[in-house]
Chain A
Amino acid sequence: DTGVSQDPRHKITKRGQNVTFRCDPISEHNRLYWYRQTLGQGPEFLTYFQNEAQLEKSRLLSDRFSAERPKGSFSTLEIQRTEQGDSAMYLCASSPGLRTDTQYFGPGTRLTVL
């Protein structure tokens, strides 16, 4: 049983460019989460999907950020017009969708905005 995978693992971009990250959850996991982690901090919740529906978004998710989960499988997180403050590790997690869920995390995508 494969775990959560994320692609790319590292991304370096110039300020103002758009970037897109992909997350493949554990097979048959209904819930998918995106978190952001900056240096020396714990992960912070960004958004959450139940199957293909995006049900909750954090106030951290500015209008430059958009996430999708077509067909309830993989998910993408796009950042438009990147800023240096977007530099962080972007973590994806999935869970089965049961009440007492445990979230399992992927390896993350480290974004550096120059």
Chain B
Amino acid sequence: AQKVTQAQTEISVVEKEDVTLDCVYETRDTTYYLFWYKQPPSGELVFLIRRNSFDEQNEISGRYSWNFQKSTSSFNFTITASQVVDSAVYFCALSEGRAGSYQLTFGKGTKLSVIP
């Protein structure tokens, strides 16, 4: 069975600090997809990134970067120079690649508070 662990329940940082959100996953499939979503106080889940299991290249998008390491089953998310607008709950999720629903299995989320 697939599982996603986000060990950090809450993190507080001061504006302009860098912060890394950890994500560790478990799956028996060799083909799978990893996601990060942002859930601001309004409640809507906002898609940030998708990675497939065959692509271990790290990715950078503006102030956001993602580090995917299959050897440690981790898919960590770093926000550089954090801003107050980054305050939200961030979810890591996993979808297995076998034929089927591609349902997402989510971690419990990490609540990030950026203090001005």
Q: Which residue numbers of A lie inside 8 Å of B, CB to CB?
A: 31, 33, 35, 40-45, 48, 55-56, 89, 91, 93, 95, 100-108, 110
With a CB–CB cut-off of 8 A, which chain B residues contact A56?
Answer: 100-101, 103
Contact check, B102 vs A45: say whether CB atoms are below 8 A apart.
no
Contact check, A42 vs B103: say whether CB atoms are below 8 A apart.
no
A107-B105 in contact given A42-B91, A100-B52 (Cβ < 8 Å): no
Contact check, B102 vs A42: say whether CB atoms are below 8 A apart.
no
Q: Name the residue on B nearest A3 (C-beta).
A: B44
With a CB–CB cut-off of 8 A, which chain A residues contact B44?
Answer: 105-108
Contact check, B108 vs A42: say whether CB atoms are below 8 A apart.
yes
Contact check, B93 vs A42: say whether CB atoms are below 8 A apart.
yes
Tell me the complex Cα distance, A1–B56, Å: 32
B102: contacting residue among A40, A95, A106, CB under 8 A: A95
Contact check, A44 vs B43: say whether CB atoms are below 8 A apart.
no
Q: Check if B50 is an interface residue, CB within 8 A of chain A.
A: yes
Contact check, B103 vs A104: say whether CB atoms are below 8 A apart.
no
Contact check, A42 vs B35: say whether CB atoms are below 8 A apart.
no
Tell me the complex Cα distance, A107–B46, Å: 10
Contact check, A110 vs B50: say whether CB atoms are below 8 A apart.
no
Contact check, A105 vs B42: say whether CB atoms are below 8 A apart.
no
Q: Other CB < 8 Å A-B pairs besides A31-B101, A41-B108, A56-B103, 8 of them?
A: A42-B108, A45-B101, A45-B104, A48-B101, A104-B47, A105-B37, A107-B42, A108-B43
Contact check, B101 vs A43: say whether CB atoms are below 8 A apart.
no
